[in-house]
Amino acid sequence: MSSFDRRTALRLLAVSALASLLAGCFQPMYAERTLDGSPALREKLQGVEVPPLNVPNGSREARLGVEVRNALMFSMYGSAVGGPVTHRLLMRLTTNRTSVMVDPLTARADTENYGIDVTYELKDNATDKTVLTGRTFSRVSYDIPGQAQRFARSRALRDAEDRAAKVISDNISQRLASFFIAGT
Q: How confident is the model at residue 160 (pLDDT cuts 50, 70, 90)?
A: very high
The domain that holds 41 is classified in CATH as 3.30.160.150
Is 5 within a domain? no
pLDDT score of 30 more than 70? no
Is 19 part of a structural domain of the chain? no
pLDDT value, residue 6: 82
Per the domain annotation, does 167 fall within a domain?
A: yes
Task: Please give the C-alpha separations between residue 105 and each of 40, 99, 102, 147, 149, in angstroms, as whole numbers.
Answer: 59, 15, 9, 11, 17
Going through the chain in order, the beta strands assigned E by DSSP cover: 48-49, 87-102, 109-124, 130-143
**What is the per-residue pLDDT for 24?**
62
pTM of the model: 0.78
Tell whether 22 is covered by a domain.
Answer: no
Q: How much is the average pLDDT of 64-72?
A: 93
pLDDT in tens, 104-132: 777 677 788 999 999 999 999 999 999 99
Domain count, the chain: 1
Structural domain of 71: 32-182
Whether residue 7 lies inside any domain: the answer is: no
In a domain, residue 12? The reply is no
